[in-house]
Amino acid sequence: MRAFVFPGQGSQKVGMGVELAGASLAAREVFQEVDEALGQNLFAIMSEGPEDQLLLTENAQPAIMAHAIAVLRVLEKEGGIAIGDACDFVAGHSLGEYTALCAAGAFTLADTGRLLKLRGQSMQAAVPVGVGAMAALLGADIAKATALAEAAAQGEVCTVANDNDPTQVVLSGHKAAIERAIAMVKDFGIKRGVLLPVSAPFHCPLMAPAADAMAEALGRTPPRSLSVTLMANVTAAPVTDPAEISRLLVEQVTGRVRWRESALALGTAGVDQFVELGGKVVGPMISRTLADVSITSVASMADIEAFAREL
C-alpha cells in the first residue's frame, strides 16, 4: 500500500517551482491559479524572493502547498496518474494537511490557497512578535519532551507542538518558558535544544485566536468528500467524514502534530511505500519511525518522470 505525504512549513526556499513551471504547463497553471486566488504574485516571490517575504508565514504556507500540488498535477496530467489509483492514504505535516486535502479533492486549489493565506495571517496575529517561541529537541522522545515541557512551564505555556519522530520533538509556548526548556535539556537526558527561527508559537494554546478564525473560515468553505482517506494530524487516525475533518483542522491549530504516531498508524494499516510530494522533509522523519518501508521524494521533473515509470 502507498501513502502520499506532504511537507509543512520550513520546506520553502527561493527558486521553488521554477524548474517545474519551465517544463510543464500543468505546473504553470497551478501557480497562476493560486496567484489569482490570492490577488498577489506569490509565484514571483517563490521564484525570485526576497527570502524574507517568502519566509512570512502568510506566504510560506500557500507557497509550499502550491509547489506540492504542482508536482501532483504534473504527475496526473503528464504521467496519466489518478491519485485515487496511485495511493491509499494521504497525510500532511501541519499546513501539509491542507495540501493533502486539496490533493484528495476536499478543497479546490483556489480555496486551499485562500485558507492557508488566512491561516498564516491568523497564526501570526494571534501572538505579538517576541512573546512566543518554538524549540526543536534533538535526541528526545515524547516522554522526555513531555516531562521537560511540564518542568519548564512554571505557570506559562510550554507544550509539545510536533512529535516528529523517535528522535525529534518540537516544543511551543511562551518565549521565557521555551528558553528555560532549552537550558534544562541535559537534566532530562536530551541531547540538545535549538530555538527555531519562527515568527509565532504554532500548535499550542496561544494560537486560540487563530483557531477561532479558521473555524469561521471553514464554516464558509467546508471540506467536500475525499477521494482518498486522510490520516489526521491531531488524532493519528484515518478520517473521511468532511464534518469531522473540519473540526480536526480547527483543533490542529492549537493541537499537537502527531506525525510519529501517524506514520506508525499508516504502517499498521499496511502502508509500506511513502511518497513525499514537493519536498524532502517528512519522508526522513517517517524513515526514522518505521523500518522496512520505502521512502521516495518527488519534487523535480526528473523525480516525477522516474516515479511515473515505476507505477
Which residue among 67, 93, 174, 203 is the active-site one?
Answer: 203
Is residue 287 part of the annotated active site? The answer reads no
DSSP secondary structure, the chain, as one string: -EEEEE--TT---TTTTHHHHHH-HHHHHHHHHHHHHHTS-HHHHHHH--HHHHHSHHHHHHHHHHHHHHHHHHHHHHH---HHHH-SEEEESTTHHHHHHHHTTSS-HHHHHHHHHHHHHHHHHHS-TTTEEEEEEET--HHHHHHHHHHHHTTS-EEEEEEEETTEEEEEEEHHHHHHHHHTGGGGT-SEEEE---SS--SSGGGHHHHHHHHHHHHHS-----SSEEE-TTT-SEE--HHHHHHHHHHHHHS-B-HHHHHHHHHHTT--EEEEES-SSHHHHHHHH-SS-EEEEE-SHHHHHHHHHH-
Residue 34's Cβ-count burial label (10 Å; 0-12, 13-18, 19+) is buried
Is residue 174 part of the annotated active site? The answer reads no
Do the beta carbons of residue 191 and residue 226 sit within 8 Å? no
Which residue among 11, 24, 94, 246 is the active-site one?
Answer: 94
Pairing assessment for the beta strands 89-92 and 229-231 based on DSSP bridges: parallel
Residues belonging to the active site? 94, 203
